[in-house]
Structure 1
Amino acid sequence: MDSPHGAAVTAEDFGLKGPRGWAFRGVSVEADPGSLIAVEGPSGSGRTCLLLALTGRMKPTEGHAEVGGLRLPRKMAAARRISALGPVPGVSDLDPSLTVDEHLRERALLQRRFDGSLRALLRPGGERAASARSRVEEALEAAGLDLDSLPKQGRTSVRDLERLEALRLSVALALIGRPRLLALDDTDLKLSDADRAEAWGLLRTVATEGTTVLAVCSEAPEDAVVIRTGASGAVRRNASGTPDAAAPHDAPGEPSGTSVPTKATGTTAEPETGTKVAGATAIAAEDDGKPATDAEPGTETSTTADAGTATGTGTTTDTGTTTTTNTDTDTDTDKTTTEEGAADAIAETGRA
C-alpha cells in the first residue's frame, strides 16, 4: 500500500464552548507526522468534541490548531479532505443491516465519485473498477481484516461481527481514501485485554506506515502522544506520556467572570407627610352622593398622607365652609392587586 505522508498535529490554547459550557479548553499539543496520538479520559470529558475539532468537523471557540499545515478553524474544509473518520458513534456508524462487501463497495464508489480527479474519471470503466478493487484490498490488508475468516466471508452482516472485527472494518473503510490523518472514537470500548492490545497494535502499524492516528480511549498506551481530558472538561497535553498539571478552568456551563446580583437594602421609600398634590380632584360629600367637579377658582386643595393608616381630604371654599371627607383605608392593598404583584415578582425571580 502507498504510504501517505502523515499530517503533523499542533494546537495552542485550543478550546470549544457549546451551549452547556466548555467541552474542552486549553489544549496544547505537538505531534509529528505518523504519530500515534491518544485522547485519554472518561466519557463526557470532551474527547469526541476534540477529535471532531482537530479533523475540521467542529468549529473551535478559542485558540488555534494546525493539521498538516492547515490552520484551524480557517481551513476546516481542507482539513476534512485530508482526514478520515473510523468508528465515531453518531457520525460514522456502520449500518448493521449491510454486509461487509456492501460497505466496501459503497465506500469505493463514493471515493471514486467525489474524491477522484477528472483525469481518473475519464479512464475506461474496467480500469477504474480495477483501481477501486486494488484500493479495497490494500485497505483490508492495512486494517488486518481477512474476509475469509468471517462466518460468511464478505456476505457477513455487520451485526454479526465481533467488536474487534467491526473496528478493523471501520479502519479499512477510512483507509480507502488514503488519508493523512485517521481519527477513531471509543477505541478500547468493550474490548478484552487481548483485543485491546491487538487494536493498539493495528493502529501502531497504521501510524508506522505513515498515517497519523488520533484515537479516543479510556487508557492510552505508553508510547503514544497523550492528550488527557478531565471529568470537568479541562484538557491538557503531554508529548511524552506524562500528563501535565491541570490548568485553571471554568466549570461547564458557567462563563468566567459571572457576577451574581446582590439584593439592595434600604431601597423602600416611605411617603412624606403633608405632600401637596397639584391638580387633585376634590371629593365633596354632597347630599346626592355624586363626586364634585374640579375645585372652583380660588379653592385650595391639599392631600395629606399620614404614615400608615387613613387618608384625609380637606376642601376649603371661599365662604369659609370646610367640607372634610375621611376615607379609612386599610394599610394593605386589595386582594386582587396583591396576587398580581406576587405573580410578577415570582416571574422576575424565576422561583415557583
Structure 2
Amino acid sequence: MDSPHGAPVITEDFGLKGPRGWAFRGVDIDARPGSLIAVEGPSGSGRTCLLLALTGRMRPTEGRAEIGGLQLPRKMAAVRRISALGPVPGISDLDPALTVAEHLRERALLQRRFDSSLRTLLRPRAEHAAAARGRIDEALEAAGLDLATLPKEERTAVRDLERLEELRLSIALALIGRPRLLAVDDIDLKLSDTERAEVWKLLGSLAESGTTVFAVCSQAPEGTTVIRTTGRSTVDAATAAAADADTEAVADTGTDADAEAEAEAEAKVEAAALGDTDRDTDTGADADADDTNKDTNEEGTADALADTGRA
C-alpha cells in the first residue's frame, strides 16, 4: 500500500492529571517518523492514557508535545485527523455481532465522509465503491489478514474470530484511514508467545512502511525502543534501568491511587474521543475549520451509519 509519511513524536515533561492524581507524568519522547515504540508497564500505570493523549483523544495537563508538528493540546482535533487507534479495550472495541465485511464497509464509508472533498463526494457511486475496495484491500494486506482463511470468509462474525485475527482486523480498520500515527493497546492480551511474536513482526513492518507506531505491552521484545510507565512518572528505558530501586518504591506507594486516577480518566475518555471540539483552543481559521468539520462529520456519520443499517 502507499505508505503515509509517519508523524514524528516529541514530548517533554508530558503529563496528565485526573481528579485523584497523575495518570502519567514526566514523559520525554523523541520518535522519528516510522518509529516503533513500546509503552511498557504494569496495568494501571497510565499506559492507555498516554496513548490516548498522544493521539489527541485526552487533554494533557502539563508539558510540551508535538505530533507531526502539531502542538498539544492546542491542535488536538488536527492530531486526531492524522492518528488512529487500533484495538483499545473500552474505546475502539469491535461489535461482536457484526461480520468482518460489515466492519470494513462501515469504516470505509465513515472515512469517505470525513476525509473527502465535496467534489469527491459527488463522484459516481461506482468510483466510490472501487476506491473503498482499494483502501480495504490495502489495509487487509498490511495487517496480514486473509479473509479466505476465516471460517465464513468475510461473512465471519467478530465473535467467531480468534484473538489474533480480531487484532489484525482492528489494525486493518485503523489503516483504512492511512494514519501517520497508529496506537495499539495491550497487545499481550490473550496471545501465546508465538502469536505475540507475530504481532510485533506486523507492527515492525508497519513502521518500516512509514507509519509511526506506539504499542502498549507488559514486556517488549529485545531491540525495541521502550517507554516505561510507573503511574506517577514515565521514563525511557535507560533511565528506568539506572533507577530500578526508585521505580519499585513508586510502584509500592503510588499505584493504587494512580490506578484509580486512570480508571476515572478512562471513564471519561469517550467524551474526549469525540473531541469536545468546542473546547480545543484553536484560534482564527483553525478554529473555524474545526467547527465546520465537526458539523460536517456529525452529518456524515449519521449518513454513513444509515448506509450500513446501524443508524
Work out whether the TM-score is over 0.5. yes
Please give the per-residue CA displacement for 1:278-318, whole angstroms capped at 9, x wherever unaligned. Answer: xxxxxxxxxxxxxxxxxxxxxxxxxxxxxxxxxxxxxxxxx
For the pair 1:186 / 2:186, whether they are aligned, the reply is yes
| 1:40–1:47 Cα contact (<8 Å) kept | yes
Query: CA RMSD for the aligned pairs?
Result: 1.9
For the pair 1:216 / 2:216, whether they are aligned, the reply is yes
Secondary structure of 2:119's match?
Answer: helix
Structure 2 partner of 1:60: 60
Please give the per-residue CA displacement for 1:194-232, whole angstroms capped at 9, x wherever unaligned. Answer: 0000000000001100101011111112232211012x4
- Measure, in 1, the Cα distance between the counterparts of 2:207 and 2:67: 15
Give the alignment of 1:115-126 within 5 angstroms. 115-126=115-126
Q: Which amino acid aligns with 2:69?
A: G
Cα distance, 1:241 vs. partner?
10
Q: Which amino acid aligns with 2:178?
A: R
Structure 1 partner of 2:128: 128
- Measure, in 1, the Cα distance between the counterparts of 2:240 and 2:193: 22
Structure 1 partner of 2:150: 150
Structure 2 partner of 1:93: 93
Structure 2 partner of 1:167: 167
The 3 A distance-change label for structure 1 pair 40 and 223 is same
| 1:237–1:244 Cα contact (<8 Å) kept | no
Structure 2 partner of 1:25: 25
Secondary structure of 1:26's match?
Answer: strand
Cα distance, 1:242 vs. partner?
7.0
Structure 2 partner of 1:235: 234
Please give the per-residue CA displacement for 1:255-298, whole angstroms capped at 9, x wherever unaligned. Answer: xxxxxxxxxxxxxxxxxxxxxxxxxxxxxxxxxxxxxxxxxxxx
Structure 2 partner of 1:74: 74
Structure 1 partner of 2:307: none
The 3 A distance-change label for structure 1 pair 72 and 152 is same
Cα distance, 1:244 vs. partner?
5.6
- Measure, in 2, the Cα distance between the counterparts of 1:9 and 1:163: 29
- Measure, in 2, the Cα distance between the counterparts of 1:89 and 1:152: 25
The 3 A distance-change label for structure 1 pair 102 and 241 is farther
Divergent runs of 4+, >4 A = 240-244, 246-254
| 1:6–1:212 Cα contact (<8 Å) kept | yes
| 1:21–1:251 Cα contact (<8 Å) kept | no
Please give the per-residue CA displacement for 1:118-177, whole angstroms capped at 9, x wherever unaligned. Answer: 232122111111000000000000000000000000011101111100000000000000
Structure 1 partner of 2:225: 225
Name the larger-Rg structure.
1
Structure 1 partner of 2:268: none
- Measure, in 2, the Cα distance between the counterparts of 1:18 and 1:62: 12
Secondary structure of 1:135's match?
Answer: helix
Secondary structure of 1:16's match?
Answer: strand
| 1:5–1:211 Cα contact (<8 Å) kept | yes
- TM-score for both structures, normalised by structure 2: 0.77
Higher helix share: 2
- TM-score for both structures, normalised by structure 1: 0.69
- Measure, in 1, the Cα distance between the counterparts of 2:129 and 2:93: 26
Aligned residues: 252
Structure 1 partner of 2:207: 207
Secondary structure of 1:11's match?
Answer: strand
Gaps of at least 5 residues in structure 2 are 259-311
Secondary structure of 2:23's match?
Answer: strand
Structure 1 partner of 2:112: 112
| 1:223–1:241 Cα contact (<8 Å) kept | no
The 3 A distance-change label for structure 1 pair 225 and 163 is same
Q: Which amino acid aligns with 1:73?
A: P
Please give the per-residue CA displacement for 1:225-260, whole angstroms capped at 9, x wherever unaligned. Answer: 211012x4321124x797463689894659xxxxxx
Structure 2 partner of 1:307: none
Please give the per-residue CA displacement for 1:1-52, whole angstroms capped at 9, x wherever unaligned. Answer: 1110000011100011101211001110111000001100010000000000
Secondary structure of 2:71's match?
Answer: strand
| 1:7–1:34 Cα contact (<8 Å) kept | yes
Structure 1 partner of 2:3: 3
Please give the per-residue CA displacement for 1:77-96, whole angstroms capped at 9, x wherever unaligned. Answer: 10000000000011100000
Structure 2 partner of 1:48: 48
Gaps of at least 5 residues in structure 1 are 255-352
| 1:236–1:244 Cα contact (<8 Å) kept | no
Structure 2 partner of 1:266: none
Secondary structure of 2:221's match?
Answer: coil
Q: Which amino acid aligns with 1:168?
A: R
Higher RCO structure, 1 or 2 (CA under 8 Å, sep 6+): 2
Structure 1 partner of 2:278: none
| 2:228–2:240 Cα contact (<8 Å) kept | no
- Measure, in 1, the Cα distance between the counterparts of 2:242 and 2:69: 25
